[in-house]
Amino acid sequence: MNRIQNAFNNKKAFIGFLTAGDPTYEASLENMRAMIKAGADLIEIGIPFSDPIAEGPVIQGADVRALKAGMTTDKAFELAKTLRSETDIPLVFMTYLNPVFKYGYDRFFAKCAEIGVDGLICPDMPFEEKSEADAAAKAHGISVISMIAPTSEERIKSIAESAEGFLYIVSSLGVTGVRSEFSTDLGSIMENVKKYAKVPAAIGFGISNPEQAKKMAAISDGVIVGSAIVRIIEKYGENSADEIYKFVRSMTDAVNS
Amino acid sequence: MSKGRYGDFGGQYIPETLMNEIHKLEEAYEHYKNDPDFVAELDRLNREYAGRPSLLYYAEKMTKDLGGAKIYFKREDLNHTGSHKINNVLGQCLLAKKMGKTRIIAETGAGQHGVAAATAAALMGLECEIFMGKEDTVRQALNVYRMELLGAKVNPVTTGTMTLKDAVNEAMRDWTRRVDDTLYVLGSVMGPHPFPMIVRDFQSVISREAREQILEKEGKLPTAVMACVGGGSNAMGMFYNFINDKDVRLIGCEAAGRGVDTGETAATIATGTLGIFHGMKSLFCQNEYGQIAPVYSISAGLDYPGIGPEHAYLHSIGRAEYVPVTDDEAVNAFEYIARTEGIICAIESAHAVAHLMKIAPTMKKDDIIICCLSGRGDKDVAAIARYRGIDLHE
């Protein structure tokens, strides 16, 4: 059984996102430790990109801070390696395709396998372009996580059937960022996904409080939270770990309540 | 491998939220491009609204002064709204209407595409929002006001380098929010398929006319055709119908900014490497980790870190040549063509004129060059004055 599956075993998963190097290398490592201590089941480690077109202002800000602080793909690997030496929970990179392409697909996934990073999420690598990285990822046993959006409609079948690791269900139109309400009929999307998917499906984009997390967890296998955590860093800078612990704790309690 | 490939370049690297929409766009385009009513309507708009065909003008004074090849200008600067951008927006906005869209969005650098998009939206009764880097709204304040006069909302983009690339980012983000009622009217031969194809097809009117016009005037094909290249829409339009004429040289002129070795440049072919960004695999100015580089050019319209995939392909197979032209050379050319031919062209187009000035004297008198004047230069006058140290109050 792979590590990603462990996150969903007999429970709803809480997946927390942070950008590596935001606001500094050390602080981001501390914040990830805080998430793990608070019960996060899977950590999404963002490798910052100069032009993250699927992100709202909050995560854009994190990318800017991290790059300014000197974050690189190599340092993100170093960070993941440190984390892996301390925990067995699944770790997944989230970044845009260009940093991965530029690093070299084979080199990137070989390094993931060596260190113990279990998967990759690339919002600008849709189903049609999966063949970019597929062969290299498979060769090293790394899951490429697919996304399903409210607009996916008849695409759900082919995406879900070929999904690896887990499915990332995008809650609503638009980019990442905190939302006060959700207009998408997620229930029927999830129903459709479940018909075809052999892997768990978690909902992300816009989930920012325990009440929303509970609702989303009730109709899926887990929730993904990013902007709401990054907002804490926006506010507390290098001293965010305690606040992140408290917030993630409230969220992990909510998803399994 | 996905559709929309030019060799290894191109593709559809965009978020899942947009995938169904670009499939629908492709389907609609494939249908309407062969629909007689659509073709007739676009043709009517091109002739009676945009002022096509544009002139192919023999620049006799420049030809004599430079003392080599015979020089012709394809006068896209004389189109309605003052640039080649109108060719594309009329087509795309008509397509938006047919698709039942009520709103269009567009990115703009120099403001030429933004003004054209706002114009077509006004004409066709579409809501219009323009995304423009804050830096560019300052450089091109006049165009911002023109867009507002035309009823468009202009959103200054304050992320990243606050220029064209960031305007594209923001337009893509907006599109994922309102994919149901909105068409993103992309301004260049870039982005995910089908945009590079659609924009090329609508812009190819430039070379379709130019080819006929030169055969009529000279009875033979030109030795070379040339154009400036940012994303590459006027160049693709100028090249397209000459690609199969193997003896016609295709020359694209990139913005070298302060020089290709200075780091303050936007010359993608000269300094870029293979990457995946803004929906396409192509060449980009980027660092070793694939972070997109801040680029620089005096010309807001060429200030872009990438190039359309079909240009990258034409370059890779050696069919087209691409040369860097510095700010300084472009400004000199801007002033030279104004003095010599009485034409104030866009600073973007002046990059092509600058290279023309270099190669024309080296060619024979029976050689012919057609250079695309992609736009007019009224918008640039204040910036050129500043470049020359003249404080001009608009």
Residue B220 and residue B328 share a domain: yes
CB spacing of A159 vs B284 below 8 angstroms: no
Residues in A closer than 8 angstroms to B166, CB to CB, are 51
* Cis? peptide before A23, omega within 30° of 0: yes
Domain assignment present for residue B253? The answer is yes
- CA–CA min distance A45, chain B (Å): 17
| B2 catalytically annotated | no
Residue B38 and residue B187 share a domain: yes
Express each pLDDT in B286-330 by its tens digit: 999 999 999 999 998 899 999 999 999 999 999 999 999 999 999
Question: How high is the mean pLDDT of chain A?
Answer: 96
Domain assignment present for residue A192? The answer is yes
CA nearest neighbour of A173 among A189, A163, A184:
A184
Domain assignment present for residue A3? The answer is no
Domain assignment present for residue B192? The answer is yes
| B329 catalytically annotated | no
Cβ-Cβ contacts under 8 Å for B36 (sequence gap 6 or more)? none
Separation CA B387–CA B203 (nearest Å): 31
Look up tokens 């830096």; give the residue: B135
CB spacing of B284 vs A49 below 8 angstroms: no
Average pLDDT of the segment spanning B79-96: 98
CB A75 within 8 A of CB A21: yes
Q: What is the pLDDT of residue A179?
A: 82
CB spacing of A53 vs B276 below 8 angstroms: no
As a whole-number percent, the residues of chain A with pLDDT over 90 amount to: 93
- pLDDT band (50, 70, 90) for residue B2: low
Tokens of B104: 């269009």
- pLDDT band (50, 70, 90) for residue A117: very high
Domain assignment present for residue A120? The answer is yes
Residue B284 and residue B271 share a domain: yes
| B135 catalytically annotated | no
**HEC readout, chain B:** CCCCEECCEEEEECCHHHHHHHHHHHHHHHHHCCCHHHHHHHHHHHHHCCCCCCCEEECHHHHHHHCCCEEEEEEHHHCHHHECHHHHHHHHHHHHHHCCCCEEEEEECCCHHHHHHHHHHHHHCCEEEEEEEHHHHHHCHHHHHHHHHCCCEEEEECCCCCCHHHHHHHHHHHHHHCCCCEEECCCCCCCCCCHHHHHHHHHCHHHHHHHHHHHHHHCCCCCEEEEEECCCHHHHHHHHHHCCCCCCEEEEEEEEECCCCCCCCCCHHHHCEEEEECEEEEEECECCCCCECCCCCCCCCCCCCECCHHHHHHHHCCCEEEEEEEHHHHHHHHHHHHHHHCCCECHHHHHHHHHHHHHHHHCCCCCEEEEEECEECHHHHHHHHHHCCCCCCC
Residue B294 and residue B268 share a domain: yes
Express each pLDDT in B256-278 by its tens digit: 999 999 999 999 999 999 999 99
CATH number at residue B330: 3.40.50.1100
Domain assignment present for residue B151? The answer is yes
CB spacing of A54 vs B169 below 8 angstroms: no
- CA–CA min distance B14, chain A (Å): 4
Domain assignment present for residue B393? The answer is no
Domain assignment present for residue A4? The answer is no
Domain assignment present for residue B309? The answer is yes
Tokens of A26: 């050390």
> From residue A73, how far is each of A67, A250, B64 by CA, in Å?
10, 31, 56
CB spacing of B16 vs A128 below 8 angstroms: no
Q: What is the pLDDT of residue A183?
A: 76
Express each pLDDT in B137-165 by its tens digit: 987 888 999 999 999 999 999 988 888 99
Listed residues B183, B199, B215: the one ending a domain:
B199
Domain assignment present for residue A53? The answer is yes
Domain assignment present for residue B347? The answer is yes
Determine phi and psi for A12, rounding to 5 degrees: -85, 140
- CA–CA min distance A38, chain B (Å): 31
Handedness of CA B163, B165, B167, B173 (dihedral sign): negative
Beta bridge pairs of residue A18: A45
Structural domain that includes position B78 = 52-82+204-387
Determine phi and psi for A73, rounding to 5 degrees: -60, -40
Handedness of CA A168, A123, A80, A178 (dihedral sign): negative
Average pLDDT of the segment spanning B99-122: 96
Residue B89 and residue B68 share a domain: no
Task: Tell me which DSSP letter residue A224 carries.
Answer: E
- Residue A111 CB: number of other CB atoms within 10 A? 19
- Residue A16 CB: number of other CB atoms within 10 A? 28
Question: What three-state secondary structure class fits A201?
Answer: strand
Interface of A with B in 30-89 (CB under 8 A): 49-51, 53-54, 56-57, 60, 67, 72-74
Tokens of A192: 């459709």
For the stretch B176-203, what's the b/e string if a residue is b when 16 or more beta carbons lie within 10 angstroms of its beta carbon? beebeebbbbbbbbbbbbbbbbbbbbbb
Q: Does A100 touch chain B (CB under 8 A)?
A: yes
CA nearest neighbour of B292 among A102, A124, A46, A130:
A102
- Reply yes or no on whether the pLDDT at B189 is more than 60: yes
CA nearest neighbour of A253 among A90, A39, A51, A64:
A39
Residue B155 and residue B129 share a domain: yes
CATH number at residue A228: 3.20.20.70
Task: Tell me which DSSP letter residue A163 carries.
Answer: -
Residue B163 and residue B90 share a domain: yes
Residue B378 and residue B276 share a domain: yes
Domain assignment present for residue B193? The answer is yes
Q: Which helix (H) or strand (E) holds A43?
A: strand A42-46
Residues in A closer than 8 angstroms to B305, CB to CB, are none
- Reply yes or no on whether the pLDDT at A177 is more than 90: no
Beta bridge pairs of residue B157: B133
Structural domain that includes position A157 = 12-255
Tokens of B357: 């000035």
CB B17 within 8 A of CB A170: yes
Residue A170: which of B16, B278, B279 has the nearest Cβ?
Answer: B16
Residue B239 and residue B137 share a domain: no
Determine phi and psi for B206, rounding to 5 degrees: -60, -50
**ipTM here:** 0.96
Cβ-Cβ contacts under 8 Å for B9 (sequence gap 6 or more)? B280, B281, B282, B309, B310, B312, B313, B316
Domain assignment present for residue A2? The answer is no
Residue B20: which of A132, A153, A175 has the nearest Cβ?
Answer: A153
As a whole-number percent, the residues of chain B with pLDDT over 90 amount to: 93
Residue B290 and residue B234 share a domain: yes
Tokens of A137: 């990822």
Q: What is the pLDDT of residue B110?
A: 83
- Residue A253 CB: number of other CB atoms within 10 A? 15
A67: left (phi over 0), alpha (psi -120 to 50) or beta: alpha
- Reply yes or no on whether the pLDDT at B384 is more than 70: yes
Q: Does A148 touch chain B (CB under 8 A)?
A: yes
Domain assignment present for residue A107? The answer is yes
Question: What three-state secondary structure class fits A129?
Answer: helix
Express each pLDDT in A198-226 by its tens digit: 999 999 999 999 999 999 999 999 999 99
Listed residues B173, B199, B225: the one ending a domain:
B199
Residue A128: which of B2, B178, B289 has the nearest Cβ?
Answer: B2
Residue B276 and residue B163 share a domain: no
Listed residues B199, B220, B243: the one ending a domain:
B199
Residues in A closer than 8 angstroms to B274, CB to CB, are 101
Express each pLDDT in A59-88 by its tens digit: 999 999 999 999 999 999 999 999 999 999
Q: What is the pLDDT of residue B394?
A: 55
- Residue A181 CB: number of other CB atoms within 10 A? 7
Q: What is the pLDDT of residue B1?
A: 53
Residue B367 and residue B230 share a domain: yes
Beta bridge pairs of residue B226: B251, B371
User: pTM of the predicted model, to two decimals?
Assistant: 0.97
Task: Tell me which DSSP letter residue A91 carries.
Answer: E
Interface of B with A in 140-159 (CB under 8 A): 159
Number of domains observed in the structure of chain B: 2
CA nearest neighbour of B284 among B304, B263, B299:
B304
- Specify the amino acid at residue B216: E
Domain assignment present for residue B147? The answer is yes
Number of domains observed in the structure of chain A: 1
